[in-house]
Amino acid sequence: MDLKGKSALITGASRGIGAAAARRFATAGAEVMLLARSKNEIGALADDIRAEGGSAVARSCDVADYDDVAAAVAAAEAEFGAVDILINNAGVIEPIAMMDVVDPAAWGKLIDINLKGVFHGMRAAMPVMRRQGGGTILTVSSGAAHNALEGWSAYCASKAGAAMLTASADKEGRPHGIRAMGLSPGTVATEMQREIKSSGVNPVSQLDWSAHIPPEWPAEALLWMCGPDADGFVGQEISLRDESIRRRVGLIA
């Protein structure tokens, strides 16, 4: 898929799905802006992408801070001339704890990142996309948006809320050419899964590492979602557990 002349902002781009997406979108020709709190990590990744012939800039950004996100979107518009794609990927799993003992401050901090961070990205990008006649907003979701798991009350609630934000963005943005979709990738071999494994809480922590897909798979799916073959899924959440989706993306024969 050719994304030459297109720009993409990716939150949580320092590792895992975000880093894999940054590399994949750059190889597809997009100008990418990497957003994360860890400036050194995204700076090194941007250097790698440029060394491989891609176009990438890194910007420190805390998605829990709306002003930070709005400034990043404005910088991308100034840098690239447009904001064509926003990937809301930043997210955390901690605190993993039962509701009767979980630290309320930690619970609220997760909501600030996983839920409010998604809203902040949409709020900052949608006016720009509306002015330019359209754009694509992709949010990394989870099966936890639809199925409660013990110890994950904050994570499940945040992902369920983010799914509703995607539906709301579709209702409000589709008339203006904005394509909003969610991607539920299943379990992915990232640092988050190591945190889950070490917690020993709920069935997900008991999965063998071989059960997890590589982060390059959801990165490929996100790229596919930017193209016309995914138009029939606008406003919906796509599950990468679905073999028919994996086939359409080109991950399996």
155 counts as catalytic: yes
**What are the Cα distances from residue 14, in Å, to 59, 89, 168, 205?**
11, 10, 28, 23
**In the structure, how many helices (H) and strands (E) does the chain have?**
9, 7
Longest CA span, the chain: 51
Residue 184 bridge partners (DSSP) = 239
d(CA 199, CA 103): 16
Locate 107 and state its tokens: 């619970």
Q: Which residues of 156-191 are buried (b: 16+ CB within 10 A; e: fewer)?
A: bbbbbbbbebbeebbeebeeeebbbbbbbbbbbbbe
DSSP state of 214: P
Catalytic residue among 119, 155, 217, 224: 155
Q: Which residues are catalytic?
A: 155
